């Protein structure tokens, strides 16, 4: 009777990848300008400027999250447009994805998590202190600034 060759040890099932929290942000355009929002919290980010948005909630599509976040934070209704290609790391376990968005109604106001808003033309984009993590996304958003 021949001995069966030793079987290799069964492979461990692949460890599930750490879930990544998706943060969606909007590149909102109006007459050739891009909306920038100054964070009021948390303290380590306060005073820095960003594309407004926030974390995807369970069961939400990114577009739904963007609509909800901009309604909560700015008091406006928006229509998400195209996803700006790319994905930018935030703090560990978080990534930023950006969509263009069109203002349907309302005038943005800093209702939640921001204390100032500015509409920036292309030549003004460097005049605010963007979060480092938002800079590459802002550069991509700026390339899509509609000419006026
Ligand atoms: N964040 C960075 N850039 C952005 C946004 C909308 C958010 N454009 C970071 C800040 C927080 C985390 O993502 O660390 C979650 O964002 P939020 O829910 O506090 O807005
Ligand atoms: Mg937010």
From its phi and psi, is residue 99 left (phi > 0), alpha (psi between -120 and 50) or beta? Answer: beta
Dihedral of alpha carbons 79, 29, 85, 38, sign = negative
Which tokens is 26 given?
């909007």
pLDDT at position 1 over 60: no
Task: Return the closest-CA partner of residue 94 out of 51, 54, 138, 36.
Answer: 54
Helical (H) or strand (E) element with 81: strand 77-89
Backbone angles phi, psi at 48, to 5 degrees: -95, 155
Q: Burial, 81: exposed, middle or buried (Cβ in 10 Å; 0-12, 13-18, 19+)? A: middle
Backbone angles phi, psi at 124, to 5 degrees: -100, 0
pLDDT tens for each residue of 58-113 = 999 999 999 999 999 999 999 999 999 999 999 999 999 999 999 999 999 999 99
Residues having CB within 6 Å of any atom of ligand 1: 23, 25, 45, 50-55, 90-91, 94, 96, 113, 131, 133-134
Q: How far is the CA of 69 from the centre of ligand 1 (A)?
A: 11
pLDDT reported for residue 110: 98
| ipTM at complex level | 0.99
Confidence (pTM): 0.89
pLDDT tens for each residue of 21-61 = 999 999 999 999 999 999 999 999 999 999 999 999 999 99
CA distance 33 to 121: 4
Residue nearest to atom 16 of ligand 1 (CA): 54
pLDDT tens for each residue of 110-144 = 999 999 999 999 999 999 999 999 999 999 999 99
Query: Per-residue confidence at 148, pLDDT binned at 50, 70, 90?
Result: confident
């Amino acid at each position: 009777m021949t001995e069966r060759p030793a079987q290799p040890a069964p492979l461990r099932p692949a460890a599930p990848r750490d879930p990544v929290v998706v943060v969606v942000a909007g590149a909102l355009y109006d007459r050739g300008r891009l909306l920038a929002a100054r964070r009021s919290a948390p303290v380590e980010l306060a005073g820095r400027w960003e594309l407004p948005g926030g974390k995807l909630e369970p069961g939400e599509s990114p577009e739904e999250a963007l609509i909800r976040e901009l309604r909560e934070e700015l008091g406006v209704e928006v229509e998400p447009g195209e996803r700006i290609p790319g994905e930018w790391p935030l703090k560990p376990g978080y990534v930023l994805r950006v969509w263009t968005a069109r203002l349907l109604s309302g005038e943005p106001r800093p209702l939640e998590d921001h204390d100032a808003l500015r509409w920036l033309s292309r030549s003004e984009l460097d005049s605010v202190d963007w979060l480092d993590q938002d800079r590459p996304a802002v550069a991509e958003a700026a390339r899509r600034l509609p000419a006026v």
